[in-house]
Amino acid sequence: MGRPQHDLRAVTDGLYGRRPVAPRRGDESLRDDSHRPDGVQSIYRRLVEHSRDSFLVIDGNGLIVFCNPAAKTLFGGTVENLQGRHFGLPFGPDGASTPIELVTPDGQPQFLEMSASAVSWHGDTATLVVLSDVTNRRERETLTEIHTAALETAANGVFITDRAGKIKWVNDALAQMTGYTKDELLEMNADQIKSGDGGAADTGAITAQLNAGKPWRGRVISRRKNGESYTAEETTTPISDSAGRWSYFVSVQEDISERLRTQDQLVRLSKYDSLTGLPNRNQFMDRLQAALVRADRVGAAVAVMVMDLDNFKAINNSLGHAAGDVVIKTVAERVSKLMRTTDTLARLGGGDFGILLENVTDMAAASRTVRRILDCFRLPIKVEGQLLKIGASLGIAAYPKDDTQPAALMRQAELAMYQAKAQGGHAFKYFDRDMDADIRQRVQLESDLRRAIDNGELWLAYQPQLDLVSRRIVGAEALIRWTHPTRGLVGPGDFIPLAESCGLILPIGDWIIREICRQSMEFTRAGLPDLQLGFNVSGVQFRQRDLFQQVMSSLNRTGLPVQALDIEITETVAMERGGLAQENVDRLTAAGISISMDDFGTGYSSLSNLQTFPVRRLKVDASFVRGIGQNRDDEKIVEAVVRLGQSLGLTVVAEGVESSGQMDFLKDRDCDEIQGFLLSKPLPPTDFIRFVENFHH
Ligand code: C2E
Ligand code: MG
Ligand code: MG
């Protein structure tokens, strides 16, 4: 530490280096005191001999002529007799004390204080050197410095007070926590940083405990300079003075306000939905459990409901998640208003809500609530400037009628909800035992469908499309059919959604692509003119990486030109921004394959999206076509869609044309093509070939 370090060995080497010179007076004791009275002399002698300090007398030649036992010990017994050896340390000025730092042979620092004073030694001038070992004191001092530095830099606030509570010392962290400067704090009493609103503990008890010498630990509410209060975890330890009284108190404060806030938030997160602030599924299940216990006590019933927004996924996919969030929030607000204080509305996830009605006296009352819930969807929801019409499907299970277990009740309510959805949505259904049977049937159908591909039970029906200008059949839409071994013909509406939900749509989709290419070759071989064959691809398939590959390899295998195919996609798929669906659409279009937007007008796509979307054909949904001649609004929509398609250079196809009146209306509006029962139902391939051959318009 700044001072010159002397290697003890060097000092003693200096001593070793010389041959011991015989002392002029071969005696270890201080002799030149003959003039002193004997008693005093012997006291001095004892003092020197027993002193812990080392005494050495150095003569004018720098040789040690006297040393006491402490000096021998100091130099480690390395030198048996120091006398006559050279003393290697430089003296300071007479009488002054010089700090000396040595290194012992085993490398430990040793701190000495050396004072030198001129003395007379047997008539000659000599120097009396006193060396005091201050290593221990130095260590203590260093430790104190370290402690202070540690407290100073500690992240927790530290302050020391006296018995009167006056602040005697503070660290930076306390200054930061309280907003006062250190100087301000040193002028203050500890009470002044206490908030006064009591905090956790009673001050009298704390003082008594501290005065008994016991540390105190607990929560306190403190106040910052700006008046804001904070909660701190504080430990105060009494420190006794030399008289043994507890006169200083060291307090360490940790500001835990932030931690408490995050804890609160975590509790909220684990129980509540962050978007709506409604209870989440966990909390809903807890409440359901509690509600069942309460209902038992009073002999009441509980209605457990699950509500799912219809087409919520489609909204999320086509308009984006922010839009989906708006819908969820609006629904949550509207339905909340209908709840009594004893009811619970929870968000279970996605577009799923849970509703708990307690104290239900009769199920008719529950039905009334459900109707009111459905009614509140009547008003469209405004999202990004568009008005969306949203529906919801609800399923209800009743306690104790249907089951007594929360999980079973939830499953039953869900089942009922699926039934409501399967029957067109925006409705509610009570759970009944038959639904379990429906589920078993579904499972059976699924396993049948798995075998259907290999058993050759699937086939494609073709529905012709007529060009209204050339009056020729220019294409057909392939529609899947399943001839079930026992049920007979099953329509796509009865198994495509099932196939989509269980993943079977992928092998089925793969089969369709191969089959349509094969069939197209058959049609050519049968002598039919070049036809564009459209087929439906579901969203699940579009989100598969290899869709593009599948289509291209089927085309390559059969040698069909890309113009031979047309892929029908729904608006939902078309509007998916980014992702694999978009990538597949882009790659297919780039390869020259035509894409049609199916069921146009029923989805949530905005018309402006059409401009940027690489679709070649627009299929006006049958529901609008059906209104031609009956509903002025539908006619206007058809007109508008046809005009829109034309302005974008798209081919407009009208679906579901059943009457010649509808056809004439469409022809007058310059619609390009029609498809529907007026021309033909979807036909098996051989019938289709015959139809095209015989078609004369
Ligand atoms: P889509 O693609 O809109 O097909 C048109 C549906 O309207 C067909 O019903 C067709 O038979 C029916 N249709 C055609 N003309 C008329 C008409 O004049 N009046 C009436 N009332 N209906 C008409 P289908 O075959 O039952 O198919 C229903 C839906 O199933 C299809 O709607 C399509 O979304 C889906 N689908 C059919 N085949 C496949 C397929 O191979 N793959 C996929 N992923 N979905 C398919
Ligand atoms: Mg279609
Ligand atoms: Mg369609």
Instruction: With beta carbons less than 8 A apart as the criterion, state whether 396 and 365 touch.
Output: no
Q: Which atom of ligand 1 is nearest to the CA of 499?
A: 44
Q: Whose CA is nearest to atom 22 of ligand 1?
A: 656
What is the per-residue pLDDT across 600-627, written as a single tens digit (0 to 9) for each? 887 666 566 676 678 899 999 999 999 9
Q: How far is the C-alpha of 65 from the C-alpha of 31, rounded, in Å? A: 11
User: Is the beta carbon of 496 within 6 A of some atom in ligand 1?
Assistant: yes
Please determine, for residue 569, whether its predicted confidence score (pLDDT) is greater than 60.
yes
The CA radius of gyration of the chain, in Å to the nearest whole number, is 49
- Number of residues assigned to the chain: 697
What is the per-residue pLDDT across 627-643, written as a single tens digit (0 to 9) for each? 999 999 899 989 989 99
User: Is the beta carbon of 492 within 6 A of some atom in ligand 1?
Assistant: yes
Cis peptide leading into 400, omega within 30 of 0? yes
What are the C-alpha distances in Å from 438 to residues 2, 105, 396, 446, 491?
91, 93, 16, 12, 18
Q: Whose CA is nearest to atom 46 of ligand 1?
A: 536
Q: According to DSSP H, which parts of 505-652 are helical?
A: 505-525, 539-542, 547-558, 571-574, 579-590, 607-612, 622-625, 632-647
Residues lying with their CB under 5 A of ligand 3, a single-atom ion = 598-599, 655
Please determine, for residue 158, whether its predicted confidence score (pLDDT) is greater than 50.
yes
What is the per-residue pLDDT across 253-267, written as a single tens digit (0 to 9) for each? 999 988 888 888 888
Please determine, for residue 39, whether its predicted confidence score (pLDDT) is greater than 60.
yes
Please determine, for residue 129, whether its predicted confidence score (pLDDT) is greater than 70.
yes
| Cβ contacts of 153 within 8 Å, gap of 6 or more | 171, 172
Q: How far does the centroid of ligand 3 lie from the alpha carbon of residue 543, in Å? A: 20
Looking at the CA of 656, name the nearest ligand.
Answer: 1
Burial class (CB in 10 A: 0-12, 13-18, 19+), 470: exposed
Minimum mean pLDDT among 1-15, 307-321, 392-406: which range?
1-15
DSSP 221: E
* Tally of helices (H runs) and strands (E runs) in the chain: 25, 27
Nearest to 310 by CA among 274, 273, 275, 353: 353
- Which residue matches tokens 């540690």? 150
What is the per-residue pLDDT across 203-242, written as a single tens digit (0 to 9) for each? 777 888 888 889 999 888 889 999 898 999 999 999 988 8
Q: What is the per-residue pLDDT for 197?
A: 54
Q: How far does the centroid of ligand 3 lie from the alpha carbon of residue 615, in Å? A: 15
Q: DSSP string spanning 610-675?
A: HHHS---EEEE-HHHHTTTTT-HHHHHHHHHHHHHHHHTTPEEEE----SHHHHHHHHHTT--EE-
Minimum mean pLDDT among 61-65, 328-332, 585-589: which range?
61-65
Q: How far does the centroid of ligand 3 lie from the alpha carbon of residue 424, in Å? A: 17
Amino acid at 497: P
User: Is the beta carbon of 676 within 6 A of some atom in ligand 1?
Assistant: yes
Q: How far is the C-alpha of 432 from the C-alpha of 451, rounded, in Å? A: 31
User: Is the beta carbon of 656 within 6 A of some atom in ligand 1?
Assistant: yes
Q: What is the per-residue pLDDT for 1?
A: 40
Q: What is the per-residue pLDDT for 320?
A: 84
Q: Whose CA is nearest to atom 19 of ligand 1?
A: 656
What are the C-alpha distances in Å from 648 to residues 68, 76, 613?
114, 104, 11
Q: What is the per-residue pLDDT for 29?
A: 44
Q: What is the per-residue pLDDT for 686?
A: 97
Looking at the CA of 568, name the nearest ligand.
Answer: 2
Q: For 28, what's the count of Cα atoms within 13 Å in the CB-facing half-sphere?
A: 14
User: Is the beta carbon of 185 within 6 A of some atom in ligand 1?
Assistant: no
What is the per-residue pLDDT across 357-383, written as a single tens digit (0 to 9) for each? 998 887 788 889 999 999 999 899 998
**What is the average pLDDT across 486-503?**
90
User: Is the beta carbon of 584 within 6 A of some atom in ligand 1?
Assistant: no
Q: How far is the C-alpha of 608 from the C-alpha of 251, rounded, in Å? A: 68
Higher pLDDT, 331 or 578: 331
Mean per-residue pLDDT of the chain: 87
DSSP 562: G
Look up the pTM and report it: 0.52
pLDDT bucket at 77, cuts 50 / 70 / 90: low
User: Is the beta carbon of 585 within 6 A of some atom in ligand 1?
Assistant: no
pLDDT bucket at 28, cuts 50 / 70 / 90: very low
Q: Whose CA is nearest to atom 42 of ligand 1?
A: 536
User: Is the beta carbon of 479 within 6 A of some atom in ligand 1?
Assistant: yes
Nearest to 638 by CA among 604, 674, 610, 609: 674
Please determine, for residue 30, whether its predicted confidence score (pLDDT) is greater than 70.
no
Q: For the chain, how far is it from start to end, CA to CA, in angstroms?
A: 111
User: What is the CA 516 to chain-centroid distance, rounded?
Assistant: 46
Nearest to 98 by CA among 76, 129, 61: 129
User: Is the beta carbon of 101 within 6 A of some atom in ligand 1?
Assistant: no
Sheet of 5-7: strands edge to edge?
5-7, 97-103, 109-121, 124-133, 54-58, 64-67
Which residues share a beta bridge with 594? 566
Q: How far is the C-alpha of 632 from the C-alpha of 212, rounded, in Å? A: 94
Q: How far does the centroid of ligand 3 lie from the alpha carbon of residue 619, in Å? A: 7
Parallel, antiparallel, or unpaired for β 617-620 and 594-600? parallel
Q: How far is the C-alpha of 59 from the C-alpha of 89, rounded, in Å? A: 13
| Cβ contacts of 227 within 8 Å, gap of 6 or more | none
User: Is the beta carbon of 190 within 6 A of some atom in ligand 1?
Assistant: no
Instruction: With beta carbons less than 8 A apart as the criterion, state whether 424 and 437 touch.
Output: no
Instruction: Give 51-54 contacts, CB < 8 A, sequence gap 24+.
Output: 52/132, 52/133, 53/130, 53/131, 53/132, 53/133, 54/129, 54/130, 54/131, 54/132, 54/133
Nearest to 339 by CA among 354, 318, 328: 354
Q: How far does the centroid of ligand 3 lie from the alpha carbon of residue 599, in Å? A: 4
pLDDT bucket at 40, cuts 50 / 70 / 90: confident
Instruction: Give 193-200 contacts, CB < 8 A, sequence gap 24+.
Output: 193/222, 193/223, 194/220, 194/221, 194/222, 194/223, 195/220, 195/221, 195/222, 195/223, 195/229, 196/223, 197/221, 197/229, 199/231
Q: Which residues of 660-688 are buried (b: 16+ CB within 10 A; e: fewer)?
A: eebbebbbebebbbbbbeebbebbebeeb
What is the per-residue pLDDT across 441-457, written as a single tens digit (0 to 9) for each? 888 888 999 999 889 99
Please determine, for residue 67, whether its predicted confidence score (pLDDT) is greater than 50.
yes
What is the per-residue pLDDT across 380-425, written as a single tens digit (0 to 9) for each? 999 888 888 899 999 999 999 999 999 999 999 999 998 898 888 8
Q: What is the per-residue pLDDT for 263?
A: 83
Give all strands (DSSP E) within 171-288, no chain letters.
216-223, 229-240, 246-255
To test the pocket of ligand 1, the residue of 479, 501, 620 to mutate (highest count of ligand atoms within 8 Å of its CB) is 479
Q: What is the per-residue pLDDT for 89?
A: 80
Q: According to DSSP H, which parts of 339-427 are helical?
A: 363-375, 406-422
User: Is the beta carbon of 677 within 6 A of some atom in ligand 1?
Assistant: yes
Q: What is the per-residue pLDDT for 3?
A: 46
Percent with pLDDT over 70 in the chain: 91
CATH numbers and ranges of domains, the chain: 47-145 (3.30.450.20), 154-261 (3.30.450.20), 271-432 (3.30.70.270), 462-480+503-696 (3.20.20.450)
Q: What is the per-residue pLDDT for 31?
A: 47
Q: How far is the C-alpha of 655 from the C-alpha of 677, rounded, in Å? A: 9
Q: How far does the centroid of ligand 2 lie from the alpha carbon of residue 568, in Å? A: 6
Q: How far does the centroid of ligand 1 lie from the alpha carbon of residue 598, in Å? A: 10
Q: Which atom of ligand 1 is nearest to the CA of 568?
A: 2
Instruction: With beta carbons less than 8 A apart as the criterion, state whether 62 and 56 touch.
Output: no
